[in-house]
Amino acid sequence: MNAIQRPPVPAFDWPGQQDSVTRVPGRVFVDQDIYALEQERIFRGPVWNFVGLDVEIPNPGDYKTVQIADTPVIVSRDRDGSVHAWVNRCAHRNAKICLDKQGNTDSFYCVYHQWGYDLTGKLIAVPFARGIGGEGGMPADFDMNAIRPKKLRVENFCGVLFASFSDDTPPFEQYVGPQVAKFMRRIFNRPIKVLGHQHQHMRGNWKLYAENPRDGYHASLLHLFFATFGLFRASQKGQLHIDDSGLQTCFYTYVGKEDEAARQQGMKEAAHTYQEGTYTLEDMNLLKGKMEWDDGINLVIIDVFPIMMLQQIANVLNIRQFEPHGPDGVTVHYTFFGYADEDPALTDMRLKQINLIGPAGLVSMEDGLAIEIVQQGIAKDGGAEAIIEMGGKTVANDTTFMASEDPVRGFWNGYRRLMGL
């Protein structure tokens, strides 16, 4: 059956420079036709979508269900240990097959008409296929081997599972580039254990949230806790890497490395955020951490386009997965983890520091508000334009300027290429 062909998005002139995005039209955050095109050209296009961790489905028969934007997907481990991802939609009448978030099974059955599938998504059962009492049934040319839900490509990189709908997507390590791959290996250097999950729904477009971790400019201005307690300041020493596509980014900062003159300038220009001496913690043990690496890095943020962010803040390790809901809604799923062989005291430290991150985290609680007030502002005027010129008008692959919007420009350059806008 041929897919329904949607009309192309009406042409419009993207404002600003043609060779590098410095303006973003508000329309891309509110237009239903653009959101529909994103399903085809981005989420079901030549990208790797994060779908889970290998440790979440350790045993044969284990499975979990996820959403890749509007498409429901089953991620399952077969009896031979291989991992498969396939669209959670019955080949018969398009009902969702699996309604549970996770579990263990030897097969899946659609509740509507009981069509059955094995752990790879292969069709294995069609009730009444030969009719009843010699009457009815499927036509003689009905071939169960030719019918199945869409199967996705799967790559397991350091125990992190990614899936792609496209045969044109390059191998994962080539897709993300050497710097992202290097820092993913740094974090996933040995077996992990999942510590817990959090979920946050925001009334804003998914791209606003994708911009947010790429935007080092806001970090020491919006986040009072970040700046006041020194977890991140624009004056800290660090490095920002952007791959050639502009879509994959990695930035990190070093603990205790901060130029005093730059710090004083930062405090002056961000006086509403720097509140040293004004705010204190009743339990300063919240900030008591342990250096787990010998490189002196205490903060790492990695963005894997389109729907994943990997983060280390002090001893907090987490992955965030973005789940869009139309042009004006997104759910962020947090997965917190530690290492399988770590000391229980370190696990306790991570669990305490999780109070820094998440929907009500002392560091990140302002992000949800920021996304929603931007969406509210754009909804009032779809003709609005955003200016992204901090740090220049082009995209530098490497920079030490932490308050840069280079990664945001890179994101939009890559987005435009994929979307054809």
With respect to residue 218, please indicate whether it lies within any of the assigned structural domains.
yes
Whether residue 237 sits in one domain with residue 123? no
With respect to residue 245, please indicate whether it lies within any of the assigned structural domains.
yes
* Residues 233, 222 contacting (CB under 8 angstroms): no
Whether residue 223 sits in one domain with residue 146? no
CATH number for the domain harbouring residue 139:
2.102.10.10
Whether residue 226 sits in one domain with residue 181? yes
Q: Which two tokens stand for residue 143?
A: 């071939």
How sure is the predictor about 70, in pLDDT bands with cuts at 50, 70 and 90? Answer: very high
Higher pLDDT: 152 or 259? It is 152
Task: Report the relative pairing of strands 192-202 and 102-104 from DSSP bridges.
Answer: unpaired
Summarised one tens digit per residue, pLDDT across range 323-344 is 999 999 999 999 999 999 999 9
Domain count, the chain: 2
Q: What percent of the chain has pLDDT over 90?
A: 69
Higher pLDDT: 196 or 226? It is 196
Closest CA to 89 of 63, 70, 71, 107: 71
Rounded to 5°, angle at Cα 359 from 164 and 190:
55
By CB atoms closer than 10 A (0-12, 13-18, 19+), residue 158 is middle
pLDDT reported for residue 287:
76
Choosing from 121, 156, 191, the residue where a domain stops is 156
pLDDT reported for residue 8:
66
Whether residue 263 sits in one domain with residue 136? no
The lowest-confidence range among 272-276, 325-329, 340-344, 367-371 is 272-276
Computed over every residue of the chain, the mean pLDDT equals 89
The lowest-confidence range among 266-270, 342-346, 399-403 is 266-270
Whether residue 408 sits in one domain with residue 307? yes
Average the pLDDT over 149-166 and give the result: 98
Whether residue 359 sits in one domain with residue 237? yes
Give the bridge partners for 340, in sequence order: none
Average the pLDDT over 358-384 and give the result: 85
Q: Is the pLDDT of residue 357 over 50?
A: yes
Summarised one tens digit per residue, pLDDT across range 299-325 is 899 999 999 999 998 899 999 999 999
Average the pLDDT over 337-366 and give the result: 90
Whether residue 275 sits in one domain with residue 404? yes
Average the pLDDT over 25-34 and give the result: 93
Q: Which two tokens stand for residue 118?
A: 């094995």
- Residue 95 CA to residue 114 CA, distance in Å, equals 11
Quote the domain boundaries for residue 59.
49-156
Q: Is the pLDDT of residue 66 over 60?
A: yes
Structural Rg of the chain based on CA atoms? 23
Distance of CA 318 to the CA centre of its chain: 11
Give me the long-range contacts of 392-398 (CB less than 8 A, separation at least 24): 393/17, 393/20, 393/22, 394/19, 394/20, 395/20, 395/242, 395/246, 396/242, 397/241, 397/242, 397/243, 397/244, 398/239, 398/240, 398/241, 398/242
Whether residue 255 sits in one domain with residue 200? yes
The lowest-confidence range among 128-132, 310-314, 360-364 is 360-364
With respect to residue 42, please indicate whether it lies within any of the assigned structural domains.
no
Distance of CA 142 to the CA centre of its chain: 40
By CB atoms closer than 10 A (0-12, 13-18, 19+), residue 341 is exposed
pLDDT reported for residue 413:
94
Q: In what order do the strands lie in the sheet with 151-157?
A: 49-53, 160-164, 151-157, 83-87, 71-77, 62-68, 102-104
How sure is the predictor about 269, in pLDDT bands with cuts at 50, 70 and 90? Answer: very low
pLDDT reported for residue 15:
84
Q: Which two tokens stand for residue 325?
A: 């809901």
pLDDT reported for residue 262:
47
How sure is the predictor about 227, in pLDDT bands with cuts at 50, 70 and 90? Answer: low
* Residues 76, 87 contacting (CB under 8 angstroms): no
Q: Is the pLDDT of residue 254 over 90?
A: no
Q: Which residues contact 360 (CB under 8 A, 6 or more apart)?
A: none
How sure is the predictor about 1, in pLDDT bands with cuts at 50, 70 and 90? Answer: very low
How sure is the predictor about 20, in pLDDT bands with cuts at 50, 70 and 90? Answer: confident
pTM of the model: 0.91
Q: Which two tokens stand for residue 304?
A: 């894997």
With respect to residue 5, please indicate whether it lies within any of the assigned structural domains.
no
